[in-house]
Amino acid sequence: MYEGRAGTADGSPVNQAIQTSSAQESREIIRYRSGAKVPVIVHTAPVYNNDGEVELVLEVSAGTQDVDQLRDELLSTQQRYQLLFDAVPCYVAGLDRNLLLRPATGWFVEEFGNKTGVAFRERILH
């Protein structure tokens, strides 16, 4: 199914997960019966039995073309939201889970300066 070393028993993504006893990610080439070759990202994860031994290996593959397309769509969406966010005619700043300032609108930055990473509880107005 796989081209190259991954197509051998020792080099297969499943065998790598068994040998390392840990989840693995690799980029491989799948060869179909028709002769077509498709680049994929392969994720494997060992599944243990009650004795702590690897009993099964879960393997999931995704075509890199699909992944690349999704990444491009995500980047485009992020850029559109950034344009919208930057166009907001008021002071807006985001906070992360640690209550540190994150993205802010242009108006906020012009008035208070770039406060990215500053704790919300600190004085940001001076």
Instruction: Give the pTM.
Output: 0.51
Could you list the pLDDT tens digit for every one of the 126 residues in the chain? 888 888 888 889 999 999 998 999 999 999 888 988 989 999 999 999 999 889 999 999 888 777 778 889 999 999 998 888 888 888 888 889 988 988 888 888 888 888 888 888 776 655
User: What residues form DSSP beta bridges with 40?
Assistant: 28, 63
Q: In the chain, which residues fall in CATH 3.30.450.20? A: 4-63
Q: Which CATH architecture has domain 4-63?
A: 2-Layer Sandwich (3.30)
Tokens of 67: 């992944």
